[in-house]
Structure formats: structure tokens, C-alpha cells
Structure 1
Amino acid sequence: MIRFRPAAALAAASVLLAVQPPASAHAAMQWAVYDAAGHVQNVIQAARALEQINNQIQSLQNEATMLVNDARNLASLPYSSLQTLQGQVERTRGLLAEAQTLAYDVQAIETAFDSRYGDIRVSTSERDLIDRARARWNTSVAGFEDAMRLQAGVVQGLGATQDEMGRLVGVSQNATGALQAAQAGNQLLALQSSQLVELTALLAAQGRATALDAADRAAARADAEARFRRFMGEREQ
């Protein structure tokens, strides 16, 4: 039989402890094990969260861009030609209102035609015929003068109209939004309308002068016919 020696037992225990670590050391080694599957899952979740954040940031940027565009579209045009255009129209109306002798009034025209351009009686005196002819002549001359004054006023306003058109075109080209572009277009249409007003007034003045001259010639023929009938001794029927 082999006897158990204390020294040998101590040596054997030392070897066993060196080969097999204690329980606390074994637990520490288990915590240090790398979990690859869990790491991949964490990375995927982080990537998805980052993608959602990027989408939210892009959405906010799009909304900010829309708000900026809406603000531009709602911005009012910093220029208005309304006062200038109204001044031009008022000036043209003033020239029309200054019509001499026979104004643009239906009742006044009817009264004038009854007394100066209407039928004449054979018994009308020569003096009355002369006065009637002189009144018609003065009216015709005044009509042509009014037309020429209105023409001069329109021509003098062409420079201001051209300058206003240039300013409106420049403003429309620099428009930053839909509202500014629409307002610039409306003002250009208003400028065109004012030009049409001036053209209409000019045509009215020219037509008035031409009509007065034609009426004067017709009345002169009626006066000549009355003189001839009186010379021939005709009497009123």
C-alpha cells in the first residue's frame, strides 16, 4: 500500500487549481463571449432609426420650402401705377369736358340742331340766316380745335405712358411670386385700358368735328334752298 504524504497532496492540489480555474473566473469568461447575432440586430435597428430621422428631416425641409414659396406667392407687388393711370384718364376727361360751343350732351345737341341745323322757313330773314350760318361756322371751328387740343394732349402723354410701361415690365420680370406676377399683369392691362380710353376720346373728338362740319354743309344747303324759294316768291304752305 502506498502511503499518503502531505507534501504530495499539496502538490497535486496546486496542479488541479492551475488547470481548473475557480467559479468566479469561469463566470467572468462567460461575460466576455461575443454575441454576433445580437450585434447585427442592434445595427439594423440603429440603421432603421437613422433612416426614419432622415425622412423626417427631409419632410421638414420640404414643408419649409413650401412655406417659403407660399410666402413669395402671397407677397404683394411693391409698385403701383394706379395713380399715374388715373391721372392720365382724368386729364383726357378734362380735355373732353372743355369742349367749346356744342359739348358732348345729347340735349344740348338736339337743341342746337333745332336752332342752327334744322329746317329753315322761307320767311326767315336774311339777318337770321347769316346769324345761323355764323353760329354753325363757330361751332365747326371749335369742334376741330377741340379735336386738335385733345390730340396734342394724347401725344404729350405718350412719353409718360412709355416710361410707365417700362417700369411695369421691369417689375413684372423681377416678380418673385404668383401674386406679384398677377398684379404686374393686371397693371399692364390697366395701362392698355388707359390707352384705349385715350384712343376712344380721340376718335370721339375727331368724329364730333367731322359730324359738325358735315351738318354745317347740310344746313348751308338748306339755307340756300330757303333763299332760292323766297327769291322765287314762294310762300309758306
Structure 2
Amino acid sequence: MSIRRFGVTLAIVVVTGGSGLPAVAQMTVFDPSNYSQNLLTAARTLQQVNNQILSLQNEAQMLINQARHLTGLPYSSLQELQQSIGRTRQLLGQAQNIAYDVQQIDQAFSTTYAPASANQSDHALIANAQARWQNSVAGLQDALRTQAAVVGNLDTIRTEMSALVDASQSAAGALEAAQAGNQLLALQAQQLSDLTATIAAQGRAQNLEAAARVAAQDQGREQLRRFLTSNQGYRPSTVRMFHE
């Protein structure tokens, strides 16, 4: 067989799969198209893996951010605020004589501050006048005590406000910032509560004093009437102011 015919026969065998030759005679044929397709598939697979890795990184970062946003504020001023409000409420609850109670006020204005009448004895008029004076003094004292307590709360307010502002500025997440903001609002509410207590105590003292003046004027008119209508009447007499 000539070399040419052998080459043609070998080419036919290779094209048909080389089934007619022994294993030793088979040859590996490089297919550029198949290689390109495999390379493209591998590149796409690598891109998908990279995308999945990036997606997992984003999800992990999102979870970290969520955890950071859900982190609670480590500082709380609730106890200090409750103690300040408790002190102010305790002073208001310790109001002397006529307290912040509608029934006590109505009872006082139907007895001690009631208009003087002819049926009352001189002893009763004097006793009511003394009770009104005591109520006015007690009201002024309560107002001063309340004002002193409110002024004492200013140091606590200043300390807590500074701590809350620092905590809000260094907050790592939304929850910390929100909680710091809520506590600042609670601090402002406590200040408004102290201001309300001060106004109430001062108003109580002023109203008691005004009511005492009105009652004293009415009692003065009744005592003058009794003096002028007395059985003995008024008898002028000579009075020596200086001894000769």
C-alpha cells in the first residue's frame, strides 16, 4: 500500500471515530469550537459564583446594619427623672391646711372664708381670721418649698441632658438615636412638670392671700357693725399720750 493511500485510509478512520483501529493507534483531535464553548461556560460559571459571593456579602452587611439599628441605647435617665418628678409630687402632696383638693377648698370657703354673719360669735370670727392667716402662711411656705425643689432638680436635668446628647451623637443605629430622642422628650416633660408645679404652688399662695383679704374686709364690716350697735355704744374719753 502506498503512503498516500495509507494517509487517506487513516483520515477516514479518524473521522469515523477510529473504531476500526486498535487503542494504540487512536489519536486525540483538538476541537477549537468545543474548547471555546467550554471556556465560555467556565467563565459564566465563575461570574455566577462571584455574583453569589457579592450577594452574600451584601446580605451580611445588611444584617449587620439591622443589628446595629436594633441595638438599644445603653444609657437610661428614667430612674433619675422619676425621682425628680417624685420629689415634686411629694411636695405638692404635703400641701398644708388647704391642699389641692376640690372638696377641701369648697369646705374652707363655706366655713373659714365664708362671709361673716350676725349669728357668729366674736370668738368664731377671731378663730376664722386666725385660720385664714395660718393658711396664707402655709401657702407661702409650700410655694417656697416647691420652688426650692424645682431649683434643686436643675442640676439633675443638666447632667441628664448632657449625657443624653452625648449618647445621641454617638448612637450607632436608628434605635439608639430614637431612644435618646425619647429620653430627651421625657426630660422636657419633666421640666414642664416642675414648671406646672411651681405655677400651681405660687398661684395657690396668691389665691389664699387674696381670699384672706376679702374675708378680712367682710369680717371688718361685721365687727364695725357690732361695735356701732353695741348696747353701751361708743363713749369718747380723754386719752393722755404723754405724762406731764
Shorter-chain TM-score: what band? 0.7 to 0.9
Aligned pairs for 1:9-24 (under 5 A) are none
Q: Return the alpha-carbon distance in structure 2 between the equivalents of residues 118 and 131 of structure 1.
A: 13
Q: SS in structure 2 opposite 1:136?
A: helix
1:65 matched to 2:57? The reply is: no
1:144 matched to 2:127? The reply is: no
Q: Return the alpha-carbon distance in structure 2 between the equivalents of residues 31 and 115 of structure 1.
A: 127
Aligned to 2:215: 219
Q: Do 1:172 and 1:184's aligned partners in 2 also have CA atoms closer than 8 Å?
A: yes
Identical columns (%): 52
Using the TM superposition, name which of 29-38 and 40-49 deviates more: 29-38
Q: Return the alpha-carbon distance in structure 2 between the equivalents of residues 118 and 209 of structure 1.
A: 18
Aligned pairs for 1:1-237 (under 5 A) are 31=27, 33-233=29-229
Q: Can you give the 5+ residue segments of structure 1 that lack an aligned partner in the other structure? A: 1-12
Question: What amino acid is the match of 1:76?
Answer: G
Larger gyration radius, structure 1 or structure 2: 1
Aligned to 1:6: none
Deviation of 1:226 after TM superposition, in Å, equals 1.0
Question: What amino acid is the match of 1:197?
Answer: S
* Regions of 4+ moved over 4 Å: 26-30
Q: TM-score, normalised by structure 2?
A: 0.81
Q: Return the alpha-carbon distance in structure 1 between the equivalents of residues 104 and 50 of structure 2.
A: 81
Q: Do 1:74 and 1:177's aligned partners in 2 also have CA atoms closer than 8 Å?
A: yes
Deviation of 1:38 after TM superposition, in Å, equals 2.1
Question: What amino acid is the match of 1:111?
Answer: Q
Cα RMSD (Å) of the superposition? 2.7
Q: SS in structure 1 opposite 2:120?
A: coil
Q: Can you give the 5+ residue segments of structure 2 that lack an aligned partner in the other structure? A: 15-23, 231-244
Q: SS in structure 2 opposite 1:175?
A: coil
Q: Do 1:123 and 1:230's aligned partners in 2 also have CA atoms closer than 8 Å?
A: no
The C-alpha deviation readout for 1:104-155, integer Å capped at 9, x for no partner, is 2222222222221111112433333222211111110110111011101110
Q: Do 1:122 and 1:227's aligned partners in 2 also have CA atoms closer than 8 Å?
A: no
Q: Return the alpha-carbon distance in structure 1 between the equivalents of residues 90 and 178 of structure 2.
A: 31
Q: Which is bigger in relative contact order (C-alpha 8 A, separation at least 6)?
A: 1
Q: SS in structure 1 opposite 2:111?
A: helix
Q: Return the alpha-carbon distance in structure 2 between the equivalents of residues 141 and 64 of structure 1.
A: 69
Question: What amino acid is the match of 1:211?
Answer: N
Q: TM-score, normalised by structure 1?
A: 0.83
Deviation of 1:98 after TM superposition, in Å, equals 1.7
Using the TM superposition, name which of 188-197 and 28-37 deviates more: 28-37
Q: Return the alpha-carbon distance in structure 2 between the equivalents of residues 29 and 220 of structure 1.
A: 137
